[in-house]
């Protein structure tokens, strides 16, 4: 069968790749065409566009590049029409993917959505689009199933795919030695993957380094950005006090004592590695004020706290994200810190709430089974 997938960021590339791997087990003749990244490319098939080409965030940035984004949407629609897949699989990325879902539905292509957009946080009315244009929705957070039930829309809770990614992860032997790290405990800095967020986040994170001389700081470099870009954001006086290690985030988290993490999927990854963290977010003031008006239904920005429905990890947002606050909160979560034991205990509860491993395999089975039932199997 022919599978067309659309992912718009690094996490979507990871989950899309794992889903493709499981689909190949069920369908050895599977053909893939996709918008994704390097991990999906490694599974085979034809990549139409890399997510790096579409890495825009924030209201102002999206508006500024609206013409380019609309061009990508037009290209994607035409490519789907020309390739005529048996199924379209959309992975999060709602601003783009819901437009593609409507187009596919109009042309009789089954639409499956893996990893629900966070419409429970804002733009809740998007559920009406989902009900019209999405045939099957697969959710990965436990509270999302009840959210959709409220709208009388049946979804599949498949568990969180990060549990699969971590189960398959094998740490690099002698990681510290290979990357020039010394004996001191490691504090990981995860400042995000897009240039806009890196510019806002990293500089503030780096200001805490002089206060923790008994620790070493390592920046987790994202595959979407060159090392030179990170280096350009590091002040000259601390160049020798921080290292950049790219494409090794899981290896870094596996040895980290604590972390400063930009809000997003990385907050959950950090928790699943049982690394106490401070969650950070700072965007443009205009984008933040707009978002504050739109986001009415949630108390937290980190997935950790959303799943736990309480503040397990501290969130420093916008004006609260200062060097002074980062210093205080980081001191509370390193070894011997006052908040560390409660966070580590809470992480165990978090894992229980996220369900069992096997999200990718379960989703692949549901997609493949659904297509076979509808009689489109080649």
- Confidence check: pLDDT of 62 > 80: no
297 is in which domain, residue-wise?
168-353
Per-residue pLDDT tens for 131-177? 999 999 999 998 999 999 999 999 999 999 999 888 889 999 999 99
Mean pLDDT of the chain: 90
Residues 151 and 237 in one domain: no
Residues 323 and 242 in one domain: yes
Query: pLDDT value at position 299?
Result: 84
- The CA-atom distances, in angstroms, between 115 and each of 52, 121, 256, 340, 363 are 20, 14, 28, 31, 10
- Confidence check: pLDDT of 223 > 90: no
Which range has the worst mean pLDDT, 88-92, 121-125, 257-261, 345-349?
121-125
Residues 109 and 222 in one domain: no
Residues 207 and 74 in one domain: no
What mean pLDDT is predicted for residues 58-63? 52
Banded model confidence at residue 375, pLDDT cuts 50, 70, 90: low
Tokens 């639409």 — which residue?
Answer: 111
What mean pLDDT is predicted for residues 316-330? 95
The DSSP symbol for 112 reads E
For residues 246 and 193, give the distance between their C-alpha atoms in angstroms, rounded to a whole number.
11
CA atoms 288, 292, 295, 299: torsion sign: positive
What is the number of structural domains in the chain?
A: 2
Banded model confidence at residue 127, pLDDT cuts 50, 70, 90: very high
Residues 349 and 364 in one domain: no
Please, are residues 229 and 52 in contact by the beta-carbon 8 Å criterion?
Answer: no
Tokens of 317: 């947002």
The count of residues in the chain is 378
Residues 74 and 121 in one domain: yes
Please give the residue that has the higher pLDDT: either 288 or 190: 190
Domain of residue 69, CATH code:
3.40.50.2000
Strand ordering across the sheet containing 87-91: 46-50, 31-36, 2-7, 87-91, 111-114, 136-139, 156-157
Residues 96 and 181 in one domain: no
Query: Quick one: which of 140, 362, 137, 361 has its CA closest to 272?
Result: 140
Residues 67 and 144 in one domain: yes
- The CA-atom distances, in angstroms, between 93 and each of 12, 35, 205 are 8, 11, 27
What mean pLDDT is predicted for residues 176-203? 92
Residues 88 and 173 in one domain: no
Residues 45 and 129 in one domain: yes
- DSSP assignment string, 253-304: HHHEEEEEEESSHHHHHHHHTT--EEEEE---HHHHHHHHHH--S-S-SSHH
For residues 369 and 376, give the distance between their C-alpha atoms in angstroms, rounded to a whole number.
11
Banded model confidence at residue 297, pLDDT cuts 50, 70, 90: low
Residues 246 and 219 in one domain: yes
- DSSP assignment string, 207-237: TTGGG-TTSEEEEEE-TTS-HHHHHHTS-GG
Per-residue pLDDT tens for 64-103? 556 678 889 999 999 999 999 999 999 998 989 999 999 9
Residues 140 and 192 in one domain: no
What mean pLDDT is predicted for residues 43-61? 76
> In the chain, pLDDT over 90 holds for what percent of residues?
74
What mean pLDDT is predicted for residues 215-234? 94
Strands (E), the chain: 2-7, 31-36, 46-50, 87-91, 111-114, 136-139, 156-157, 186-190, 216-221, 242-246, 256-262, 277-281, 315-317
- Confidence check: pLDDT of 374 > 50: yes
């Amino acid at each position: 069968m022919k599978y067309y997938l659309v992912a718009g960021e690094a996490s979507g590339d990871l989950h899309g790749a794992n889903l493709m791997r499981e689909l190949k087990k069920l369908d050895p003749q599977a053909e893939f065409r996709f918008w994704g990244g390097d991990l999906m490319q490694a599974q085979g098939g034809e990549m139409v566009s890399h997510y790096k080409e579409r890495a825009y965030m924030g209201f102002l940035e999206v508006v500024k590049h609206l013409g380019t984004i609309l061009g990508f949407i037009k290209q994607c629609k035409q490519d789907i029409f020309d390739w005529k897949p048996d199924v379209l699989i959309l992975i999060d990325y709602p601003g783009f993917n819901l437009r593609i879902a409507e187009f596919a539905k109009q042309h009789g292509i089954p639409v499956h959505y893996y990893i629900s957009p966070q419409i429970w946080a804002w733009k809740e009315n998007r559920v009406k689009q989902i009900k019209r244009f999405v045939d099957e929705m697969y959710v990965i957070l436990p509270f999302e199933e009840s959210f959709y039930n409220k709208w009388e829309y049946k979804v599949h809770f498949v568990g969180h795919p990060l549990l699969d990614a971590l189960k398959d992860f094998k740490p690099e032997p002698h990681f510290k030695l290979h990357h020039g790290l010394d004996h001191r405990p490691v504090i990981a800095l995860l400042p995000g993957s897009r240039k806009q967020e890196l510019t806002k986040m990293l500089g503030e994170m780096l200001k805490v380094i002089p206060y923790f001389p008994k620790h070493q700081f390592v920046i987790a470099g994202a595959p979407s950005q060159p090392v030179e870009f990170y280096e350009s954001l590091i002040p000259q006086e601390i160049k020798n006090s921080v290292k950049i290690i790219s494409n090794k985030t899981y290896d870094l988290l596996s040895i980290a004592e604590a972390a400063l993490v930009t809000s997003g999927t990385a907050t959950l990854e950090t928790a699943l590695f049982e690394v106490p963290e401070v969650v950070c977010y700072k965007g443009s003031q205009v984008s933040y004020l707009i978002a504050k008006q739109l986001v009415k239904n949630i108390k937290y920005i980190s997935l950790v706290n959303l799943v736990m429905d309480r503040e397990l990890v501290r969130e420093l947002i916008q004006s609260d994200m200062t060097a002074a606050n980062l210093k205080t909160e980081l001191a509370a979560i390193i070894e011997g810190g006052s908040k560390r034991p409660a966070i580590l205990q809470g992480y165990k509860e978090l894992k229980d709430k996220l369900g069992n491993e096997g999200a990718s395999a379960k989703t692949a089975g549901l997609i493949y089974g659904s297509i076979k039932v509808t009689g489109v199997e080649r």
